[in-house]
Chains A and B, each alone.
Chain A
Amino acid sequence: MSKWEKFASVINIALGVFIAVYSYYYLKLGIMISPGAGFLPFFLGIALIVLGVLWFITTGISRVSASKTSEGDSSCTCNDDLPGETPITGRFPRKLVFGLILIVVYAWLFERLGYLLSTLFFMLGWQILVEREKWIKTIAITVLSAATMYAVFRFLLHVQLPACVWFSLGGI
């Protein structure tokens, strides 16, 4: 995890620098008696820089102490990754990648295709690509899920769902 933590801490520092500069030059700090829109964000940006540096340093320290521990204990099977239950490896599981792609596509289709078609597409895609279910089960889960969600949002919560712009299925 050390490599990823260091990478994240550098991003954190960069974010802090951007916020501090943006707040100082664009939002303006104002005067002490009447702080401007950039006053609090500026100090938060500075805080992010300081904390990012501390994070970077402490990650290095914990890595050194962990390697010392592993040297002293031959039975330890420690690897490069320190904290975290399932550390970042740089390779993301198939389920997660397909799941993420499906949600982004769903967001893109939601207003274009309307609730019904986009939800059917999402559930169908999920069962085929993520879960790899059999066809009959896939269709049953897809139809039931779309209908249940429609009932919950439309009738119980009275939410106006987007209609299909092509077919205009009366609110569906």
Chain B
Amino acid sequence: MDIFHGLLNGFAVALAPINLLFAFIGALVGTAVGVLPGLGPAATIALLLPIAYTVSSPVTAIIMMAGIYYGAMYGGSTTSILLNIPGEAASVVTCIDGYQMAKKGRAGVALAIAAIGSFIAGTVGVIGLTLFAPPIAEFALSFGPPEKFSLALVGLLMAVTLSGSSMIKGLILTAIGMLLGSIGIDPISGKTRFSFGITELQSGFDFVTLAMGVFGLGEIFYNLESTGITTIVTTKVGQVWPRLKDWTQSRMAILRGTLVGFFIGIIPGGGAVISSFVSYAMEKRIAKHPEEFGKGAIQGVAGPESANNAASSSSFIPLLTLGIPGNASIAMIFAALLIKGVTPGPFLITEHPDVFWGVIASMYIGNVMLLILNLPLVGLWVQLLRVPYGILAPLVILFTAIGSYSIANQAFDIYALIGFGIFGYFLRKLSFEPGPLALAFVLAPLIESSMRQSLLMSGGNFSIFVTRPISATLISLFAALIIGHAALSLFKRTKKVQI
């Protein structure tokens, strides 16, 4: 099936009334949660993962999860611009110039350019996904266990290296995530690992419980400490449609942001956050009047917002083609696919073309939905901020508790959820970025099984990972990245000492 026919079939799937409805629900919920400070996209998808069990069709479930993901990316800009509070990490830089524009009475223009930039970047990102994903998947069909092992390990370690502030902490969480993923019966030897006689642990922890605990409950516990989370400062939106001058100033920033975001989004660990920062730095560097940045430069909103949306589309490429989630939010979608019995990877396009093309086609539709949801309804989203945290927090807790109970109808899962919630709370207190934990947990079975198969193939010789060309290239690339990262850190430290 070529790309054109695949996409046509995808539209036939995505335009089915039930899928349209769930794409809309996903976009709506994603935008709503993106607007609310305190819960990021990963936490939202984690909270809604139990729905994946109840929705019968895998396409419908994944269409909704994808909608939540890019909806949250859109919604995050609203509070950044109006309240100087980022709805999620990728919108942090939007605060800088977006809020200044709002203070000057140009909130409407900032919101509009963010939404239009997001729409253009999101759509271009999906076009890139449509064009790049099939050839990458075809190439990945030749991968054997050693290549799969190297790819999963290198992808995971790259995500750790690029996403967090501390590499040591990221690696600790990676090891803990893999250990948590190994709990239960070993599929090869049949031996039970780390269950300590607890019957419920024999099948291991469910990813949904772990994700809801660490990302959802952990975030709620952490927010319970903060004061002022319910403080609302509303700003008048003003004129929404940008003037010709605004458009002229921002069109190239949107284009550059789109390209930067798309390519950074493909790299594991790259994602929306890094791309928005890179785009902002780039716009400031090439601007004719860099002194305007920080005082309400429209390029400072257009570039980063476009970049984070392009990245959220392109981060689906490694997931759908290689089966490697590049960030925590994508790891949730990876888990949702597994829950529905669909294994993401190079075989997805041939074994489940309806899922592959249906999700891609739904992204085109979802982007249009989000443009409609974000521009005329911006006033409604601001009203959402009036929901007191005292009501929101216990509702989220109830949702996670009942959601985790519903997986296997056992109270043990609620205790496990609370345990993961406390763990997530301490991770935040100790400045850990919890993303690698989720990535390692979902990738642990793939890494272990491909490692064992590789060792069987090579007669127990570890050199198989460096003698096969693709595997060797991947490991070399990663080694180069680590050396580059270490050299850069050393250079920065030396410079600091000299200052």
Which residue of B54, B182, B429, B460 is within 8 Å of A86 (Cβ)?
Answer: B429
In the bound complex, residues from chain B placing their C-beta under 8 Å from that of A161 are: 402
A55 and B168 alpha carbons, distance in the complex (Å):
7
A131 CB within 8 Å of chain B: yes
In the bound complex, residues from chain B placing their C-beta under 8 Å from that of A19 are: 179
Would you give the shortest CB distance from A42 to chain B, in whole angstroms?
11
Q: A33 contacts B456, CB within 8 Å?
A: yes
Would you give the shortest CB distance from A72 to chain B, in whole angstroms?
12
Q: B182 contacts A41, CB within 8 Å?
A: yes
- Contact A55/B431 with A34-B456, A35-B455, A41-B179 known, Cβ cut-off 8 Å: no
Encode B381-419 as 1/0 by CB contact (under 8 A) with A.
Answer: 000000000110111011101100110010100110010
In the bound complex, residues from chain B placing their C-beta under 8 Å from that of A35 are: 451-452, 455
A136 CB within 8 Å of chain B: no
Q: A149 contacts B399, CB within 8 Å?
A: yes
Q: A103 contacts B397, CB within 8 Å?
A: yes
Q: Quick one: which of A58-83 are within 8 Å of B by CB?
A: 58, 83
Q: A103 contacts B401, CB within 8 Å?
A: yes
B178 CB within 8 Å of chain A: yes
20 interchain pairs (CB within 8 A)?
A12-B172, A32-B461, A34-B455, A34-B456, A34-B460, A35-B451, A41-B194, A45-B179, A47-B175, A51-B168, A51-B172, A96-B224, A103-B401, A104-B415, A123-B398, A126-B394, A145-B391, A153-B406, A158-B54, A162-B405
Residues of B at the A interface (CB closer than 8 Å) are 50-51, 54, 168-169, 171-172, 175-176, 178-179, 182, 186, 188-189, 191, 193-194, 217, 220-222, 224-226, 390-391, 393-395, 397-399, 401-402, 405-406, 409, 411, 414-415, 418, 421-422, 426, 429-431, 447-448, 451-452, 455-456, 459-462
Which residue of B171, B222, B397 is within 8 Å of A51 (Cβ)?
Answer: B171
A117 CB within 8 Å of chain B: no
Closest residue of A by beta carbon distance from B391 = A141
In the bound complex, residues from chain B placing their C-beta under 8 Å from that of A30 are: 189
In the bound complex, residues from chain B placing their C-beta under 8 Å from that of A45 are: 179
- Contact A159/B402 with A31-B460, A35-B452, A86-B226 known, Cβ cut-off 8 Å: yes
In the bound complex, residues from chain A placing their C-beta under 8 Å from that of B406 are: 153, 157, 159-160
Looking at B226, B398, B415, B462, the one whose CB has the most chain A CB atoms below 10 A away is: B398
Which residue of B51, B220, B390, B429 is within 8 Å of A131 (Cβ)?
Answer: B390
Which residue of A12, A36, A84, A103 is within 8 Å of B429 (Cβ)?
Answer: A84
In the bound complex, residues from chain B placing their C-beta under 8 Å from that of A148 are: 395
In the bound complex, residues from chain A placing their C-beta under 8 Å from that of B51 are: 157
In the bound complex, residues from chain A placing their C-beta under 8 Å from that of B429 are: 4, 84, 86-88
In the bound complex, residues from chain A placing their C-beta under 8 Å from that of B462 are: 32
Which residue of A48, A107, A153 is within 8 Å of B411 (Cβ)?
Answer: A107
A22 and B182 alpha carbons, distance in the complex (Å):
14
In the bound complex, residues from chain B placing their C-beta under 8 Å from that of A40 are: 178, 182, 447-448, 451
Closest residue of B by beta carbon distance from A83 = B431
Residues of A at the B interface (CB closer than 8 Å) are 1, 4-5, 8, 12, 19, 22, 27-28, 30-41, 44-45, 47-48, 51-52, 54-55, 58, 83-84, 86-88, 93, 95-96, 99-100, 103-104, 106-108, 110-111, 115, 119, 122-123, 126-127, 130-131, 133, 141, 145, 148-149, 152-153, 157-162
Which residue of A12, A33, A38, A104 is within 8 Å of B459 (Cβ)?
Answer: A33
Q: A37 contacts B191, CB within 8 Å?
A: yes
In the bound complex, residues from chain A placing their C-beta under 8 Å from that of B175 are: 44, 47-48, 51
A127 and B398 alpha carbons, distance in the complex (Å):
14
In the bound complex, residues from chain A placing their C-beta under 8 Å from that of B390 are: 126-127, 130-131, 133
Closest residue of B by beta carbon distance from A95 = B224
In the bound complex, residues from chain B placing their C-beta under 8 Å from that of A162 are: 405, 409
A33 and B179 alpha carbons, distance in the complex (Å):
22
Which residue of B54, B399, B401, B459 is within 8 Å of A110 (Cβ)?
Answer: B401
Which residue of B54, B188, B395, B448 is within 8 Å of A159 (Cβ)?
Answer: B54
A115 and B414 alpha carbons, distance in the complex (Å):
13
In the bound complex, residues from chain B placing their C-beta under 8 Å from that of A87 are: 429
Q: B430 contacts A37, CB within 8 Å?
A: no
Looking at A47, A52, A107, A161, the one whose CB has the most chain B CB atoms below 10 A away is: A107
- Contact A123/B394 with A84-B429, A104-B418, A159-B406 known, Cβ cut-off 8 Å: yes
A32 and B452 alpha carbons, distance in the complex (Å):
9
A45 and B217 alpha carbons, distance in the complex (Å):
27
- Contact A157/B456 with A84-B430, A84-B431, A149-B402 known, Cβ cut-off 8 Å: no
Closest residue of A by beta carbon distance from B459 = A33
Closest residue of B by beta carbon distance from A58 = B168
A27 and B185 alpha carbons, distance in the complex (Å):
11
Looking at B172, B178, B456, the one whose CB has the most chain A CB atoms below 10 A away is: B172
In the bound complex, residues from chain B placing their C-beta under 8 Å from that of A12 are: 172
A4 and B448 alpha carbons, distance in the complex (Å):
33
Which residue of B225, B452, B461 is within 8 Å of A95 (Cβ)?
Answer: B225
In the bound complex, residues from chain A placing their C-beta under 8 Å from that of B401 are: 103, 106-107, 110
Which residue of A31, A52, A103 is within 8 Å of B172 (Cβ)?
Answer: A52
| Given A12-B172, A44-B182, A107-B418; 17 other pairs, CB 8 A cutoff | A1-B431, A19-B179, A34-B456, A35-B455, A38-B193, A40-B447, A45-B179, A51-B175, A55-B169, A84-B429, A99-B220, A99-B221, A108-B411, A115-B402, A130-B224, A130-B390, A145-B394
- 5 closest A-B pairs by beta carbon, nearest first, are A32-B460, A33-B460, A37-B186, A107-B414, A131-B390
Would you give the shortest CB distance from B18 to chain A, in whole angstroms?
14
